[in-house]
């Protein structure tokens, strides 16, 4: 992440945190800690129980995460998470949570583009529990 991206991210996050906790020093210290961390921002994918998405997640478990291409597509009310393997047709796996989508929209307004990678499938805890998906986001 470049210094310009880190500064922008820290200001956006710091202001959001400050509104929630009303402690400016803590809010911006936390925001800078996140901005200076070179790891991708992690996010779950929501809506993975709709349609045949659980079947898609089961199939994705058979691939290495590096072979799964993730595209973020901004819609009117959500940011869609699309996945594909080996240049096949993109599949709408789910959406980003509202708070992550809000952050990425603010960063996009400042001219920064997010790139996503597939981090993995999260297995359910019980026999009939649903799977989930986790992605990494770099700015």
**CA atoms lying within 13 Å on the CB side of residue 72:** 24
- Give the CATH fold of the 39-138 domain: Small Protein B; Chain: A; (2.40.280)
Contact 27, 123 (CB under 8 A): no
Percent of the chain at pLDDT above 70? Answer: 96
Q: Can you tell me the distance from the alpha carbon of 99 to that of 43, in angstroms, rounded to the nearest whole number?
A: 10
Domains of the chain, by residue range, sit at 1-38, 39-138
Predicted confidence (pLDDT) per residue in 16-54, tens digit: 888 888 888 988 898 888 888 888 888 999 999 888 999
Predicted confidence (pLDDT) at residue 103 exceeds the cutoff of 80: yes
Predicted confidence (pLDDT) at residue 128 exceeds the cutoff of 80: no
Residue 126 has a pLDDT of 66
Predicted confidence (pLDDT) at residue 125 exceeds the cutoff of 70: no
Q: Can you tell me the distance from the alpha carbon of 75 to that of 129, in angstroms, rounded to the nearest whole number?
A: 29
Beta pairing partners, 83: 70, 91
């Amino acid at each position: 992440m470049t210094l310009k991206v880190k500064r922008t991210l820290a200001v956006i996050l710091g202001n959001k945190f400050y509104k929630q906790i009303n402690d400016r020093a803590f809010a911006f210290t936390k925001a800078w800690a996140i901005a200076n961390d070179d790891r991708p921002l992690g996010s779950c994918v929501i809506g993975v129980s709709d349609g045949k998405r659980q079947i898609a997640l089961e199939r994705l478990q058979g691939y290495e995460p590096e072979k799964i291409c993730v595209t973020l597509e901004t819609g009117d009310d959500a940011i869609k998470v699309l996945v594909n393997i080996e240049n096949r047709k993109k599949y709408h796996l789910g959406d980003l949570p509202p708070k992550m989508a809000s952050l990425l929209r603010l960063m996009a307004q400042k001219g920064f583009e997010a790139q996503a990678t597939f981090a993995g499938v999260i297995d359910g805890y019980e026999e009939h529990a649903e799977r989930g998906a986790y992605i990494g986001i770099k700015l």
